[in-house]
Amino acid sequence: MIERDGGVEFHEVLPDGCPPVTAEIVSKSVLLRFVEREVPVFDDFVSHAALGKPVPPGVCPCRWASCSFFRVEKIGKLPSIKNKPFIAYVELDHTAGLCNENAKNGHMDVWLSTKFDPNRAVTNVIRRSQNA
């Protein structure tokens, strides 16, 4: 647990300068997260960095250390991720942590707070093939 930005403690060890100064408190919303199983576990909500995956060239280490979510209204335009056949609907609020959103594609980098339990926030899970 790392503490930054006015006392927010994050689940993961984050790179220096992360979250960026542009990050905002998560507003109440239902977002989508690709998960590996129909009943998600905590590991479904960790970053590539926490999984020990090396940062690819040209990718910001701070973004690599975030948990990716997508806006529900972008469900028809989500990327294909073969090893994650399920989509979890997750209800986030101000306790979730800090985020940066790409308004163009609906992708959100979220740095999860220790005050937020993503598994308890899952409201529904669907198979990827159910959304077309």
pLDDT digits (tens, 9 = 90+) for 23-43: 999 999 999 999 999 999 999
> How many structural domains are present in the chain?
1
Three-state SS for 105? coil
- Mean pLDDT of the region 61-75: 90
Q: What is the mean pLDDT of the chain?
A: 87
User: With contact defined as beta carbons under 8 Å apart, do 71 and 31 qualify?
Assistant: yes
Contact (CB, 8 A) for 97 and 110: yes
Q: What is the pLDDT at residue 32?
A: 93
Residues of the chain with pLDDT > 70, as a percent, come to 89
* Cα separation, 90 vs 124, whole angstroms: 7
* pLDDT at residue 1, as a whole number: 42
Taking the C-alpha atoms of residue 132 and residue 129, their distance in angstroms, rounded to an integer, is 7
Q: What is the dihedral of CA 59, 65, 51, 122, to 10 degrees?
A: -120
Q: Which residues pair with 88 in a beta bridge?
A: 33, 125
Q: Which domain holds residue 65?
A: 2-130
What per-residue confidence (pLDDT) applies to 79? 67
Mean pLDDT, residues 114-123: 94
